[in-house]
A and B are shown apart, each in its own frame.
Chain A
Amino acid sequence: MNTIWALAKIVVLEMVRRKDFYVLFILTVLLTGTAGSVNLFNDNSIVRYLKEICLLLIWAASLVIAITCTARQIPAEREQRTIFPLLAKPVTRAQFLLGKFLGCWVATGMALLVFYVFFGIVSASREQHWPVLNYLQAGLLHWLMLAIVIALTLLGSIVFAAPSSNGTICFVCTAGILLLGRHLNKVALGLTEPLQSLLYGVYFAIPHLELFDVRDLITHNWDLIPWGMMVLATLYAAAYTAFFLTAAWLIFRRRPLN
């Protein structure tokens, strides 16, 4: 575990020293500020659109951070050849992958924390209340979703050599699942066999990332999600994350590095 944590710390340090996060955060602040400064029928208490825009920007920024940060990890290690002195140490390939995963996940978690605090400030400035538990649930689910995305991207970075192609594919898959994942069963109903069964199979096989997207609940001040459901969502995310990491390890463990 020490080795994994040591590897993770390097990834976190890299993100802290790179400018990606700062640029995205400033962009989020600026765009939210601009949206908030629009005069809407002389009413300053309108807040939900601002919450929605802010959350949308946070989601987009978090996906950019998670995917780009993860997609470059292994290719950059190989391209800059830092992987050689590292794996010449008593580090297993599994530890290497887990360290990279943990680092990316913790780094995006830290970024999310900053983003959600900003969101809380924006929301509280107009709504005059701060439903911390709801925000905690939203942030936690968001972070769990990113675990799946990071594991998927890590697997992609082993399959596809170029970080750009891997990043693009992961973006398309993630966005596709977020937008359409929930509706595949309805689409399947309108198809004939064997397409119907095939699409139903896809529907049950893909990780339903949209389950973790509770922006509408937060924007419109819905009640807390039952904690039992939160536990189930955590298990769901853990299962998919483990699956992708295992697949990545199976491919990577015997792959020659030269």
Chain B
Amino acid sequence: MNPAPALLAALALATALATGGRLLAWQTERAQDAGSVFDLLLGESRRAFAVHAFLKADAYYHSGFYPSVFDLAQQADNSKTHLQESIKSAGAEHHDHDHDAKPAKARDWLEAFGSHFFPSQHRHLEKFGDEREILPWLRLAAELDPHRIETYTVAAFWLRDRLNKVNDAEQFLREGLRANPQSYEILYELGRLYAENNRDVPRARAVLELAVERWLKQEAPKADPDKLGYGQILAQLADLEERAGNLDRALAHFARLKQVSPAPETVQKRIDELLARQGRPR
């Protein structure tokens, strides 16, 4: 019997198995790196879908009312969604941002007629707890693009602030932190959660100080650093220390905040108040 065909077949099988195993390992490695099945299915386009999912959450916040890309093109400032504005203005009512509750004037009869068939009035989720409706889209946005920081901070804000789901908010932020370990924004949001919801001063302090450290490392060298984000962290830290009775530390944070704040006089007022409480000269 000629052994050549059997040897050839064995060689082919061995090559196939070796190649297959290598490919499988490579694929697994890639999948782990991306961390999501969406990466395999959509590739880089998943980021665009993530943006869409995020905008969808904003549209849900407005009960389906949302300007189209064509409307947005005619508006001057469209860089931030209302959801983002909400957490930036946390503590204040969301309704204070600038928009008109009345429908825009129709350009023609078709537009006027059509306005009866889709949400054409600016409206926010009003009933308590309705904010939960935006969460699926934020979850999807995070799945599609785990490196989109706003998704975690916005979702965490709504979870802890409006839906009283502090544990879920913390878990989601930690997920975000695993995907984005250098993010000072997520650390800031986590610090707020510990400070405002859990009243866990040592953890809040640790996390917020880490946020400051990250900010200094990433943003300080930049020509146009995110001063607002830095200011928010410092303000949070100062408030935390003030509440904890560490007025010296609070004063130190306020002093740094004054340097980056767009309203240094307001910060100075707070510094003066603290100094007065300490009985020290201004």
Interface residues of A (CB under 8 A from B): 38, 40-43, 45-49, 141, 182-183, 185-187, 189, 203-204, 208, 210-214, 216-217, 219-222, 225-226, 229, 232-233
Say yes or no: A46-B133 contact (C-beta < 8 A), given A183-B68, A204-B110, A219-B64.
yes
Known pairs A41-B135, A216-B64, A220-B63; A229 contacts B119 (CB<8 A): no
Q: Please name 7 pairs of A and B residues whose Cβ atoms are closer than 8 Å in the assembled complex, sorted by A.
A: A43-B163, A49-B133, A185-B107, A186-B70, A186-B73, A211-B114, A212-B117
Judge whether B254 is part of the interface by a CB distance below 8 angstroms. no
Residue among A38, A203, A220 making CB contact with B110, cutoff 8 Å: A203
B116 part of interface (Cβ distance < 8 Å): yes
Size class of the contact patch on chain B: 20 to 34
A186 to B119, CA, bound (A): 18
How far is the CB of A105 from the nearest CB of chain B, in Å? 21
Q: How far is the CB of A204 from chain B (nearest CB, A)?
A: 7
Q: Give min CB distance, B101 to chain A, whole Å.
A: 15
Q: How far is the CB of B241 from chain A (nearest CB, A)?
A: 32
Q: Are B137 and A49 in contact (CB under 8 A)?
A: yes
Which residues of B are at the interface with A, using a C-beta cutoff of 8 A? 60, 63-64, 68, 70-71, 73-74, 107-108, 110-111, 113-114, 116-119, 129, 132-133, 135-137, 139, 159, 163, 165, 168, 172
Q: Tell me whether B159 and A141 are in contact (CB under 8 A).
A: no
CA–CA, A233 to B117, complex, Å? 10
Contact B116 A225, beta carbon cutoff 8 Å: yes
Contact present for A40 and B117 (CB under 8 Å): no
Chain A's closest residue to B107 (CB) is A185
Q: A41-B172, A220-B119 are in contact. Are A208 and B64 (CB under 8 A)?
A: no
A182 to B137, CA, bound (A): 25
Give chain B nearest CB distance to A60 CB in angstroms.
17
In the assembled complex, the Cα of A14 lies from the Cα of B73 at a distance in Å of 48
Do the beta carbons of B135 and A220 come within 8 Å of each other?
no
* Interface SS majority for chain A: helix
When distances are taken between beta carbons in the complex, the residues of chain B under 8 Å from A49 are 60, 133, 136-137
Shortest Cβ distance from residue A225 to the other chain B in the assembled complex, whole angstroms: 5
Of A203, A217, A229, which is within 8 A of B64 by CB?
A217
Closest 8 CB pairs of A and B: A216-B64, A49-B136, A220-B64, A220-B63, A186-B70, A183-B70, A48-B133, A41-B168
A203 to B111 CA separation, bound complex (whole angstroms): 11
Q: How far is the CA of A115 from the CA of B64 in the complex (A)?
A: 22
B196 to A: closest C-beta gap in Å? 19
Of the candidates A40, A186, A221, A233, which one forms a contact with B139 in the assembled complex, judged by CB atoms under 8 Å apart? Answer: A40
Known: A41-B135, A214-B118, A229-B116. A187 touches B70 (CB 8 A): yes
A211 to B118, CA, bound (A): 8
Question: Quick one: closest B residue to A221, CB to CB?
Answer: B63
* A179 closest partner in B (C-beta): B68
Cβ–Cβ < 8 Å partners of B60 in chain A: 48-49, 220
Chain B residues near A225 (CB-CB < 8 A)? 116-117
A210 and B70 form a contact (CB under 8 A): no
**CB of A55 to closest CB in B, whole Å:** 12
What would 10 more interface pairs be, CB under 8 Å, given A41-B159, A208-B110, A217-B119? A45-B129, A46-B136, A185-B107, A203-B110, A208-B114, A213-B118, A214-B117, A216-B119, A220-B63, A222-B63
